Amino acid sequence: MPWRGKPTVRPRAASSPSSILLPLPPPGLAPRPMAGGGTGAEAGADREQERAAPEGAGGETVPPHAWRPAPSLEPCARCSPPPRSLCLTLGDIFIAVKTTKRFHQSRMELLLDTWISRAREQTYVFTDEEDDALKRRMGNNLCSAEHSHLALSCKMAAEFDAFLASGRSWFCHLDDDNYLNPRALLKLLSSYSATWDIYLGKPSLNRPIWASEILPNNQTVHPKSVHFWFATGGAGFCISRKLASKMVPWASGRNFLSTSELIRLPDDCTVGYIIECKVGGQLLPNPLFHSHLENLQLIPASLLTQQVTLSYGVFENKLNVIELSGPFSPQEDPSSRFRSLHCHLYPDTSWCLQTVGW
């Protein structure tokens, strides 16, 4: 058969200073939205927009009726796709959960009862205060440290350094209002290789964020404007070891705090800044990650098993949770529906089997 040349692949449209460590769809590049302009002063406004509006499957702000299921993503036409990790196990993944003392009981106990029970040895909790009850449940996977961007950056630095020391292949960051489906995460990461520069997550804006980079000796008369994509920490994100190793000069130890101060933005923005502006990597947007900033009720129940992360919260003074029937009523499982979700995903869980009529 004569050689016909390389086919053109067209992307389809996306239808606290100290820290404590507690033990516990197909691959490809999603098409990026068109980059938008802006100034350094827009950085704060961008963050406000992120908190105020729901997201679409690719991170763009969309009306509630416009939720789209995960698109079928095709490899970039400019390069060959990375080799897949055919033998990846959960033991190759370092899962970091960021929390704070006031959420130990209301949020962390829920996570411990649900998804963490399926990935306890791979999950590490980073918080701001010691907690004997939490430590008893988590064993040796505990890390301890306020919710300013400086404190958050310290937690992220602790997460990053703990991952580097672990020797594992993948670093995945989550917030304490996320439900992680370990099975879906393993399937997603198995589509990539940790020996490639991989940064997976969900952008919260439909354009790069702009910031003013402070020059040495606080020379802000003519600050340097930078723009970059970042994966919102509220939906979770994952980084390969190959890429993480390149981030060390800016992300390890107190270097992360110093880097964060250069752009004066939160920790998830700082991660994106390091990867794009310092290392030369790029975000691979993935629609299987979800934060509380999008309308979660519009995700079809039939697709919940495919999602890597889910969340919950309040949007426009209304509870923002996934739509799911049983086995627990909204009164029994009100704030997140995570218990009902967990029983749908892992029905062999002991307390799911004990549920009447399930």
Best-predicted range by mean pLDDT among 127-131, 178-182, 249-253?
178-182
Check residue 123 and report its DSSP letter: E
Catalytic residue (one of 132, 268, 333, 348):
268
Distance of CA 12 to the CA centre of its chain: 23
**pLDDT of 168 strictly over 80:** yes
Average pLDDT along the chain: 78
The residue written with tokens 């704030």 in the block is: 335
Better pLDDT: 34 or 316: 316
The letter for the amino acid at 123 is T
**Contact by Cβ (8 Å): 236, 223:** no
Adjacent-strand bridge partners of 199: 239
pTM of this prediction?
A: 0.74
Residue in 267, 244, 243, 338 with CA at minimum distance from that of residue 296: 338
Q: Which pLDDT score, from 0 to 100, does residue 334 have? A: 80
| DSSP count for the chain of H helices, then E strands | 10, 14
How far is Cα 172 from Cα 240, in angstroms, rounded to an integer?
Answer: 9
Residue 241 has φ and ψ, to the nearest 5°, of -65, -35
268 is catalytic: yes
The residue written with tokens 């040349």 in the block is: 5
Other C-beta atoms closer than 10 Å to the C-beta of 151 total 19
Adjacent-strand bridge partners of 126: 21, 143
Architecture of domain 20-299 in this structure: Alpha-Beta Complex (3.90)
State the average pLDDT over residues 300-324. 93
pLDDT digits (tens, 9 = 90+) for 6-49: 444 444 444 443 444 544 444 444 444 433 344 343 444 444 44
How far is Cα 281 from Cα 111, in angstroms, rounded to an integer?
Answer: 32
* pLDDT band per the 50, 70, 90 thresholds, residue 331: confident
What are the structure tokens assigned to 288, written together? 């299987």
How far is Cα 162 from Cα 182, in angstroms, rounded to an integer?
Answer: 20
Best-predicted range by mean pLDDT among 7-11, 269-273, 353-357?
269-273
**pLDDT of 294 strictly over 60:** yes
Helix (H) or strand (E) holding 199: strand 199-201
* pLDDT band per the 50, 70, 90 thresholds, residue 203: very high
* pLDDT band per the 50, 70, 90 thresholds, residue 86: low
State the average pLDDT over residues 293-315. 94
pLDDT digits (tens, 9 = 90+) for 117-155: 999 999 999 988 777 777 766 655 556 554 445 455 678
Helix (H) or strand (E) holding 267: helix 267-273
Residue 51 has φ and ψ, to the nearest 5°, of -75, -25
Q: Which pLDDT score, from 0 to 100, does residue 335 have? A: 82
CA distances to 91, 183, 309 from 127, in Å: 22, 25, 20
What are the structure tokens assigned to 160, written together? 């990053």
State the average pLDDT over residues 97-113. 88
Residue in 269, 221, 245, 219 with CA at minimum distance from that of residue 44: 269
Q: Which pLDDT score, from 0 to 100, does residue 155 have? A: 85
Q: Which pLDDT score, from 0 to 100, does residue 221 have? A: 56
Q: Parse the chain into domains and list their residue ranges.
A: 20-299
Helix (H) or strand (E) holding 219: strand 219-228
Q: Which pLDDT score, from 0 to 100, does residue 127 have? A: 86
